[in-house]
Amino acid sequence: MSNPSLPSPLIPRQPVPPLQVPTLGHGSFCLAEHDLSLAKAGEWGLFISTSRGTNSIGIEEPAHFSAPGVFIVRPDGTLYDDALQTMPFARPHVDGLLAALNLAREKNDPARGEYMGAV
């Protein structure tokens, strides 16, 4: 059963919500700068947290903030891969991520998870 208060997940090979970001080797993709609104973060499926005051490294958290995520978007604006986090640790390492993406590109390995039918 779905929860209407949760954002819809992004689906591989489907368009992603508009923003403006630079891309590796493809100029710029229409994504937004560093001021990502909570509404836009929700469109991208990022988890939204409530402040607990000062965090474990002594930084005062804002009232609400989005958890981190990494999105790999194809030049045509469709999602290839994403990694969403609920914690500020265990984030993907960029070197490993780039190596895996290079291998996937060399082997023409498609994104998974695009099936939307009944199971």
32 confidence band (pLDDT: 50, 70, 90): very low
Segment 50-69, tens digit of pLDDT: 999 998 888 898 999 888 88
DSSP for 28-96, please give it: EESB--S---HHHHHHTT--EEE--SB-TTSPBPPSEEEPPEEEEE-TTSBEEEEEE-SSSSSPPPHHH
Percent of the residues in the chain that have a pLDDT greater than 70, as a whole number: 72
Per-residue pLDDT at 67: 85
Residue 3 has pLDDT above 80, yes or no: no
Going by pLDDT thresholds of 50, 70 and 90, the confidence category of residue 4 is very low
Q: Is 105 helix (H, G, I), strand (E, B) or coil?
A: helix
Range 17-43 average pLDDT: 64
Question: Do residues 18 and 43 lie in contact, with contact meaning Cβ atoms separated by under 8 Å?
Answer: no
- Distance between CA atoms of residues 119 and 115, nearest Å: 9
The pTM assigned to this predicted structure is 0.64
Domain extent listing, the chain: 21-106
Instruction: Taking residues 80-95, report their average pLDDT.
Output: 80
